[in-house]
Amino acid sequence: MMSDVKALALLEAFLFAAGDPIEKDKLADLMEVSAQRLDLLLDQLKRRYQIDVWSGLRLSEINDKVALSTKVELGESLSLLFDPRNRQDLSQASYEVLAVIAYSEPVTRSEIEMVRGVNSDSIVTRLIERGLVEQRGTLDVPGRPGLLYVSEQFLADFGLKSTKDLEAVDLLMYDEAAEYPDEETEIKLNELAAENADSGRQDAKDRYSNETVVIAIDGPSGAGKSTLARELASRLSILFLDTGAMYRALGLKALRMGLKPSDEAEIQQMLADTDLDVELSPDGQRTFVDGIDVTDDIRTPAVSQAASDISALSVCRHFCVDRQRALAERQSLVLDGRDIGTYVLPDASVKFFVTASPEVRAKRRYEEMLQKGESSNYDDVLLEMKQRDFNDSNRALAPTKQADDAIFIDTSGRSVADLVEEMLDLVNKKMNENADVPERD
């Protein structure tokens, strides 16, 4: 029979190599020892770590599994390993979903949506793929009945036996947040209340929280659609979907694969093996392609042109539009693009068509690139802008044009603040008309 010294060394080696929690039965089979002897060896190893001041490890038991983890007192030092350059790069939205599951398990996707106010299915899927969340069992109800729990990997990372031992600060291991979501939400609501003292506007804001409101903002590139859409969404306390980012992300993938963005056959084959997803939160949108966050890589002139080419393809339009419509069905949204009010969501609650002269738009884009430290030439930017305008307005499927019932907005020479105020007033007026509610004097 193997000596205790050799058995302890082998046990430690197996636990280290396994990394994740391993079943005791499997461990006993691998070591060719009885379950009783394994328990004795585990107890010896646990006590050795407890008295060994030279070791930073401890033994954690999770149900019928065991794993090596680090001692609690080393948490502050180990947190350096998870700084923004090294951590798992979860977004704020992912952090919120993880927190909901950890503190409320088991939960369903519908319950998470009730807590956060937005559909979080794609975030849950990514957390499952990362091994932090798992689905175990279902409820006998229609819809999305899967029961979600944090995984044993999650528990092992914190040296916990269950989520009952979890403290709020432990979740910061996965994401860095300056404030807890409820504090941040309270601050934003207070700011909105101060800005919207006018009772008529406050009444409209109350309505937006109780019904689905979809606002479409269309227009050519560089008109300021995204900036206005973000500000408008923030003022109305609803989410913003940057549809152009979806086409940019696909254009970026095509360029990185060496494909021609205007070649429908090549793009159709690419889309068959493409996972496009967005995470929406009050803090902004993150765009993912095949699980990789490309948000910061899709604002170059080359990607803009690729987006224009790829968005002209019917196969690509259908690929993105299906996702956009699904998001708009579940929640109130402000969306910007080129054909939201005419093709994607022709029944949107309120529609705007935002534009400016090509020269003004090119200057904005050029200055934006300079601020980012990107080298460029104004004439080249203007030429690319005009080329994209032509492509977008002349494509066969859903060309860029103003919807018959869209409100025209010229952003030339006007500040964002003034434009947002005007659009807010127009939204409130339109919603009052739709609800047949008389406006206040």
Q: Is residue 169 pLDDT above 50, yes or no?
A: no
Helical packing angle, 314-330 and 301-311, nearest 10°:
90
**Band (335; pLDDT cuts 50, 70, 90):** very high
pLDDT for the residue 354: 93
**Of the candidates 207, 159, 223, the residue with the CA atom closest to the CA atom of residue 21:** 159
- Do residues 41 and 11 make contact, with C-beta atoms less than 8 angstroms apart? yes
Residue 159 has pLDDT above 90, yes or no: no
pLDDT at 86: 39
Decide if pLDDT at 1 tops 80: no
pLDDT digits over 412-440, tens only? Answer: 888 888 999 999 999 988 887 766 544 44
Mean pLDDT of 224-244: 88
Is residue 44 a contact partner of residue 10, using CB atoms and an 8 Å limit?
A: no
- pLDDT of 143 reads 58
The correct answer on CATH 3.40.50.300 for the domain covering 4-70 is no
What is the sign, positive or negative, of the torsion defined by CA atoms of 218, 224, 228, 229? positive
**Region 330-337 average pLDDT:** 88
Range scoring the smallest mean pLDDT among 110-124, 269-283, 324-338:
110-124
Which pLDDT does position 331 carry in this prediction? 82
Q: By three-state DSSP, how is residue 217 classified?
A: strand
pTM of the model: 0.50
- Please indicate whether the domains covering 76-173 and 188-435 agree at the CATH topology level: no
Would the pLDDT of 296 be above 70? yes
Cα distances from 110 to residues 107, 319, 410, in angstroms, run 8, 25, 41
Sheet holding 284-289, edge to edge: 276-281, 284-289, 292-293
> Which pLDDT score is estimated for 177?
33
Is the Cα torsion angle 75, 78, 79, 82 positive or negative in sign?
Answer: negative
How high is the pLDDT of residue 135? 87
Q: Cβ–Cβ contacts within 10 Å for residue 315, how many? A: 16
Report, as an integer, the average pLDDT of 278-305. Answer: 85
How confident is residue 255, by pLDDT bands cut at 50, 70 and 90? very high
Long-range CB contacts (within 8 A, 24+) of 163-167: 163/102, 163/103, 163/105, 166/102, 166/103
285 Rama class: left (phi>0) / alpha (psi -120 to 50) / beta: beta
Over residues 71-121, the pLDDT tens digits come to 766 656 655 554 443 344 566 677 778 778 887 778 888 778 776 666 777
Mean per-residue pLDDT for 312-333?
89
Find all residues with CB under 8 Å of 166, minimum gap 6, and list them. 102, 103, 158, 160
Six-digit token string for 425: 């007033």
Which residue type occupies 429? K
Lowest mean pLDDT across 6-20, 22-36, 166-180, 352-366: 166-180
How far is the C-alpha of 325 from the C-alpha of 343, rounded, in Å?
10
Q: Which fold has domain 188-435?
A: Rossmann fold (3.40.50)
To the nearest whole number, what is the mean pLDDT of the chain?
Answer: 78
Distance CA 346, CA 328 (A): 12
Percent of the chain with pLDDT over 70: 78
Omega of the bond prior to 106 within 30 degrees of 0, cis? yes
Q: What is the pLDDT of residues 237-248, one digit of tens each?
A: 888 998 889 999
Q: Domain 76-173 carries which CATH code?
A: 1.10.10.10
Average pLDDT over residues 146-155: 82
In the chain, where the domains are located: 4-70, 76-173, 188-435
Strands (E), 284-376: 284-289, 292-293, 333-337, 350-355
Per-residue confidence (pLDDT) for residue 150, from 0 to 100: 83
pLDDT of residue 157: 64
